[in-house]
A and B are shown apart, each in its own frame.
Chain A
Amino acid sequence: MPSFGESLRNSQVYKSIFRHPLPLDRRHRVLVILTNFFLHLHPVSIRRQGIALSYTWCMGGLTFFFFLVETVTGVLLMFYYRPVAEYAYNDMLALRDATSMGILRELHRWGAHAMVIAVWLHTYRVFLTGSYKRPREFNWGIGVILLMLTLLLSFTGYLLPWDQLAIWAVTVGSNMARATPLLGLEGPGAALLTVDGIDLITSASDARFVLLGARFVGENALLRFYVLHCVAIPLGAALLMAIHFWRVRKDGGISGPL
């Protein structure tokens, strides 16, 4: 009489999904990595010291994990949240007071902080182990861009609660765009861009206006930040992450002594 587990693993359905038995011997431990979509990000075998926690700190993996946490909790939050000045703050209150599982926003916010910290620690580790050196120079550059996108993701999300903390933090941050050389109203050289005496760079056409969709942090800024936060930056980050992970493999895997 075969056990339930055995008959399950011998069933046509199970075999159609997993294609091979439990990874208990060497052959199937190799196959499980090769035939599983999620596991195939990994190589089949790896240097023992390369995966020691004392070496990698697991921070790159955790950064990716936090990105997934943010994606899942973010999608759930989108069910409850409308990026419109009249509704946004009330939706926050409703999220806090009227939804079950009332820690959704907490998970999302603390996950974001954790992701920023994890990506810094990952960069720190990669630097300290000299892992940016040849042949990994290009992937280090991709990593720096990803670090910046992490900060921008967090920054654009900061506005969405539409409370005092949000609009003033974003006001402080976006005021700097006003000072962009040539393209910001108060940046050096902006006065040089004129056609027949008409200024091209005004408070309604400079870099800050492009960012906010207005002269101040208002409803247009809320919509722009929402779209950047939920669609544009995550897509960009996902593309770069795919390249980043692929290049880790192509550049020789986790670094180690030669």
Chain B
Amino acid sequence: MVDPVSYDEFIASVSGPLGWFFVLLTVMNLVAAARTVLGRDGTTLLQWKRFRLVSGQLWVVLAVWFAIQAVLCFRADPTSMAWVAMPNWAKQWVDHWMSPTWYTIGLLGGLLGMFLARRFFVRPPVAWLMLNLSMWFLGASLTDQNFYQIVSKPDNVPIVGMVYLLGFFTWMSAYRAVQNDDRLARGEPPLEAVDDEKTLVWPDLVYIELICMVAVTAVLIVWAIVLKAPLEEPANAAHTPNPSKAPWYFLGLQELLVYFDPWLAGVVLPGLILFGLIAIPYLDPNPEGVGYYTILKRPFAYVVFQFGFLGLWISLILMGTFLRGPNWSFFGIYETWDVHKSATLQHYNLSDYFWIWMLGRELPTASADAGMGGRVAVILWRELPGLLLMTLYFIGLPILAASRIPLFRQLYAQMGWPRFAVMMLLLMWMILLPIKMVANWQLNLQYFVAIPEWTLNL
């Protein structure tokens, strides 16, 4: 749904705020440059013969670049704004690649890559450059009407803020974890143990709390003045909006409805998430890594948690908020929400694939006069491939892991079989999500096990 506002009118209305946004970025980079120059702690980023690029110089270049963008924005005419805006070819390229499969694989792969190359990514100049690039991407994208409409929805603004907060805190924790891991490798205590004598709560902690409260109150008041709380048309049970979305923090669960029966997506899986979170302290047999940031002391716990939190929970919220449009179809970030774009593709179950496609036969069905037992037998026979596959997945793979993979063998020895079984059940459910999603998108596979007769689909 695009406003009936013309593009020129729209651009004129966003150019002013966008100009101030770029002024902010200019100031940020000038401060960063001043800090590196005054502190004489510029990092050499590039060296080629006699040419050397120091981080402080790059921040000056970025400041100049953002200052030019700001000036162009304040001119506010379409010609100038064309230089600020994300070019059309770039938008098309992004939308073209932004299929659900690439989004999911790209995000999980990106997280994995950043984890493996964390030594590079936690370096402050790299993190600062990434912040700048993402801010520039955001600014340039806000000149797109479709992107602007979704991102500037009052309830979606906090999500953009949350993404930056998560990025910042993930970076900071990894930054300290890498430092601590190096220190521990050298036999030194972690940073948190250095200079760690007791101090009085008054004034040291009380003042931190007071300053935090005042700062946050100020932010909240400015936020409340700048952004009005949404109020749509009066409630009308006869008119269903398209799309109808749950509140943003439940969008991950709403997304699951596409792939699982409602009783699984809405009741069992949330229950498993809660149960799994509460169970973490009882499932983690590793006594190390308490009270300081570390990755190498507890790599398994770190990776599993980040996979679940950033890779699934947050990723699905972002997908539900920014990429799901009318009819719950998938839209690129610059794509118009076209009500007629429907992905009403026929989906098939594993049993369809097995019996019809592979064996060229019809699905087994019970004869009309079959008794209760006969019908049950036919259903189980029909779904045998899926039942076998799921048994193999949920029971076979964990047993295989416990006997063959050293990491899991060690966990099994430490935990004993009941705790190991619970941990593996939760882990296999987490891993099943992306597998099932990609299978749904790429193979049009709806259920591995489809027993609609008993509302048992998986």
**Chain A residues at the B interface, C-beta cutoff of 8 Å:** 23, 26, 29-30, 32-33, 39, 42-51, 53-55, 57-58, 61-62, 65, 69, 85, 89, 92-93, 96, 103, 105-111, 113-114, 116-117, 120-121, 124-125, 127-134, 136-137, 140-141, 144-145, 147-148, 151, 154-155, 158, 161-169, 171-173, 175-181, 184, 186-188, 216-218, 255-258
Contact = CB atoms under 8 A, between A and B. Distances in A.
A161 B227 contact: no
Interface in B327-383: none
Contacts of B298: 130
Interface in B173-224: 173, 176-177, 189-206, 208-209, 212-213, 216-217, 220-221, 223-224
Interface stretch (B124-132, B285-293, B432-440): B285-293
A49 B309 contact: no
A73 to B, nearest CB: 10
A110 B290 contact: no
A244 B407 CA distance: 34
B365 to A, nearest CB: 21
B246 A172 contact: yes
30 contacts: A29-B200, A29-B203, A39-B201, A46-B199, A48-B195, A48-B197, A51-B204, A51-B205, A61-B209, A69-B220, A113-B155, A121-B165, A121-B169, A124-B309, A125-B169, A129-B292, A130-B292, A130-B294, A131-B290, A132-B280, A140-B280, A145-B278, A162-B234, A164-B234, A164-B236, A169-B246, A176-B266, A181-B268, A256-B193, A258-B291
B158 A188 contact: no
B265 interface: yes
Nearest to B310: A124
Contacts, number: 261
Nearest to B309: A124
B406 interface: no
B165 A46 contact: no
Nearest to B202: A29
A176 B284 contact: no
Contact of B281 (A110, A137, A155, A218): A137
Interface of B: 155, 158, 161-162, 165-166, 169, 172-173, 176-177, 189-206, 208-209, 212-213, 216-217, 220-221, 223-225, 227-237, 239-241, 244-247, 249-250, 253-254, 257, 261-263, 265-268, 274, 277-278, 280-282, 284, 287-294, 298, 301-302, 305, 309, 454-456
A111 B221 CA distance: 10
Interface of A is mostly: helix
Contacts of A58: 208-209, 212
Interface of B is mostly: helix
A172 B237 contact: no
A144 B246 contact: no
Select the residue from B247, B265, B456 with max chain A CB neighbours within 10 A.
Answer: B247
Nearest to A207: B267
A165 B266 contact: no
Contact of B192 (A55, A165, A166): A55
Contact of A155 (B165, B177, B233, B250): B250
A161 B154 CA distance: 15
A163 B231 contact: yes
Contacts of A155: 247, 250
Given A131-B290, A169-B247, A164 B233 contact: yes
Given A129-B293, A151-B249, A43 B201 contact: yes
B229 A33 contact: no
Contact of B190 (A48, A53, A184, A257): A257
A225 B223 CA distance: 26
B268 to A, nearest CB: 7
Contacts of A57: 169
A176 B239 CA distance: 20
B202 A32 contact: yes
Contacts of B228: 96, 106
A23 B281 contact: no
Given A130-B301, A133-B290, A168-B241, 12 more contacts: A29-B200, A48-B196, A49-B191, A55-B192, A103-B224, A107-B224, A151-B249, A165-B232, A169-B245, A217-B237, A257-B190, A257-B192
A145 B271 CA distance: 12
- 10 nearest A-B pairs in the assembled complex, by CB-CB distance: A176-B266, A179-B262, A106-B224, A137-B281, A179-B263, A113-B158, A256-B291, A188-B455, A103-B224, A130-B289
Nearest to A117: B162
Contact of A163 (B162, B200, B234, B292): B234
A44 B200 CA distance: 6
Given A103-B221, A129-B291, A134-B281, A49 B202 contact: no
Contacts of A154: 247, 249
B202 A48 contact: no
B290 A255 contact: yes
B246 A173 contact: yes
Given A127-B305, A187-B267, A89 B224 contact: no
Contact of B198 (A29, A46, A108): A46
B305 to A, nearest CB: 5
Contacts of A106: 223-225, 227-229
A110 B200 contact: no
A220 to B, nearest CB: 13
B290 A169 contact: no
